Structures are given as C-alpha cells and as structure tokens.
Amino acid sequence: MSVSAWPFDGVSQSVSQQRQRAVGRVAFGAVGLDGRTRPMRIEESGSMRIRLPKGQGSGLDAVLVNTAGGIACGDRFSVQVEVRSGATVTVATPAAEKVYRSDGPVAELVVDLKVAVEARLDWLPQETILFDRARLRRSLSVEMAENASLTLFEAVVFGREARAERIVDGLFEDRWRVRRGGRLVYADTLRLDGPIDDLLQKPVVGRGARVFATMIHAAPDAEARLDAAREHLSSVADGCDAAASAWNGLLAVRFCAMKVEALRSAAIPFLLAFRGEPLPRVWLS
C-alpha cells in the first residue's frame, strides 16, 4: 500500500490566501437643531459599531466600538464622521485598540472627518497598542470650515508593558492631513518599519520612549491659546515630556513617555484644562 504525502505547503498557502479578515465601516453624521446636536445619519457594517450614550450637555458623545476585539493582519476599517453646522460632537473609544501581530498582510484604518461652519468636533480615541510584529497603516483626513473648531488627540503605545514587550519587527504608518477652508494647513506622516524598538532608542527618533501622543487644535483662536497651553503643561510630572507650538492657525502638543500611566497622568489633566469640560465617560470606565 502506498501513502501519498500531504501537500503541506500548498495547504498553508491556500489557507493564507483564503483567510477571512475583519472588515468594518461606520458612517455617522450629526446636525445642530434648536440649540442641540442630533444624529442625522448612522451606517454600520462588519465589525464596526457606533453608540450614542446620553450626555450631559447640548453636544453629542459618540463611541466607536470594534466588535472584532482588535485589529489583526489584513483587517480593513473605515470611519466617516460629518459634523454639520451648529453641531458639537465628541468621538471616543471604550478602551485601547490592540493591533496584533501579523504574518505579513498590513491592516488598514482610514478616518475621514468633516466639520462644517460653526461646528465642533473633538476626536478623542483611547490609546492604540501595537504588539510585536504588528503591521498597521492608518490615515486621518479632515475637511473643515474656516470658523469650525477641531481637536484631535491620538496616542500610540509600542509593545505591551505588562510583558515587557519589544517590537523587534513591525510596521506603523500614520498619515494626517487637515484642510481648512479647502487649504492644506497640516500634513504629518510617521513611518516606522522594521526593528521599531531599535529605532525608538535613537535620540533623534524617540530617545527610548515607547508611548507617544499628539494633539492638534484648529480653530479661529488656536494660536492665541499657546501661552495657556504651555501653562497647563508646566505641571507635567517626571516620566513624560511635553511641548506645545502654534502656527498657521493651529496649536500642536506632543507627548512622549516610557509608560502609559505617565502619559495619561500628563495628558488627561491637560485635556481637561484645555477643553474646559470633562472627558468622555468611557475614558474613566
């Protein structure tokens, strides 16, 4: 009796090609009516959901939920948020988003934001945590009116602190573009590819830090708030470096720290003072 060898390589390749990955999309819009912000459009597909917990003020809190439980190799997600005239919306996430290791494919997250005349949008997701060998390409684009108000805050953590994890190999590409009145006013692209932990050790890159955050505020009075922002940052404790600058109608704040706790200890009081109102309740749960 003869026994044929199972074609392991062929099966592995077939399984890889047929692997089902998470695909999710959310499109959400809000409008200002009678002094309050009301939802006007909610579209959900795949593993992305949006929830609207009852808030305290006239604005609207929106919470993005990824029911896939994280982002893995080859996943595709897109988020569209439109804030129409007179509306105020704050978008957050219920927890940190985890990006798991990949065996090759790159996961993608695309965010498109539109902020109309006299509207306000605060984009405040919690941290993104990259595991070793994670591969993520993320883009965020904004179209806003001249007199709209926008606050963006994003934090990224390279490696799980509880496991003392090092990113010996991975890809993180983060592309931000902000257009105001049809004019490009902010463009920033970060790309770390390969031994990310080694790259972050370099003084000109991260000086050993592994937790980073950026806040961008665009509004008619953004540059005028630079001194106040620096005053809010003056009490930042050891373990986190932070600095603010302003130009072109924007205010930018950068944070870098060795630990998530140090970043949060600096960023949360700053955001509370700068925004003059509580953070979304999911940040505190």
DSSP for 22-71, please give it.
-EEEEEEEEEEETTEEEEEEEEEEETEEEE----SSSSEEEEEEETTSSB
Averaged over 137-144, what is the pLDDT?
A: 98
Residue from 279, 259, 267, 231 nearest 94 by CA = 279
- The pLDDT > 70 percentage for the chain reads 92
pLDDT in tens, 250-276: 999 999 999 999 999 999 999 999 999
Q: What is the pLDDT of residue 5?
A: 37
- Report pTM: 0.91
Extents of the domains making up the chain: 23-213
Averaged over 33-62, what is the pLDDT?
A: 90
> Residue 49: pLDDT above 70?
yes
On whether the CB atoms of residues 232 and 273 are closer than 8 A, the answer is yes
Lowest mean pLDDT among 8-17, 107-116, 252-261: 8-17
Lowest mean pLDDT among 1-5, 18-22, 189-193, 200-204: 1-5
> Residue 9: pLDDT above 70?
no
Task: Output the CA–CA distances (angstroms, integers) from residue 52 to 28, 66, 94, 113, 151, in the order listed.
Answer: 11, 15, 12, 18, 19
Residue 238 phi/psi, 5-degree rounding, is -60, 150
Please count the other Cβ atoms lying within 10 Å of the Cβ belonging to residue 37: 25
Pairing status of strand 211-218 against strand 149-158: antiparallel
> Residue 20: pLDDT above 80?
no
Q: What is the pLDDT of residue 35?
A: 87
Q: Which is more confident, 6 or 115?
A: 115
Averaged over 229-245, what is the pLDDT?
A: 92
> Residue 16: pLDDT above 90?
no
Write the DSSP assignment of 176-240 as a string of letters: EEEEETTEEEEEEEEEEEE-HHHHHHSTTTTTT--EEEEEEEESTTTGGGHHHHHHHHTTPPTTE
pLDDT in tens, 83-103: 999 999 999 999 999 999 999
As beta bridge partners, residue 79 has 26, 111
Task: Work out the pLDDT band at 201, boundaries 50, 70, 90.
Answer: very high
Please count the other Cβ atoms lying within 10 Å of the Cβ belonging to residue 175: 15
Distance of alpha carbon 254 from its chain centroid, rounded?
14
Q: Which is more confident, 193 or 236?
A: 193
> Residue 162: pLDDT above 90?
no
Question: Which H, E and C letters describe 71-124, residue by residue?
Answer: ECCCCEEEEEEEECCCCEEEEECCCCEEECECCCCCEEEEEEEEECCCCEEEEE
- Grouping H, G, I as helix, E, B as strand and the rest as coil, residue 15 is helix
On whether the CB atoms of residues 213 and 154 are closer than 8 A, the answer is yes
Task: Work out the pLDDT band at 212, boundaries 50, 70, 90.
Answer: very high
Instruction: Indicate the burial class of 184 (C-beta count within 10 angstroms; 0-12, 13-18, 19 or more).
Output: exposed
Q: What is the pLDDT of residue 78?
A: 97
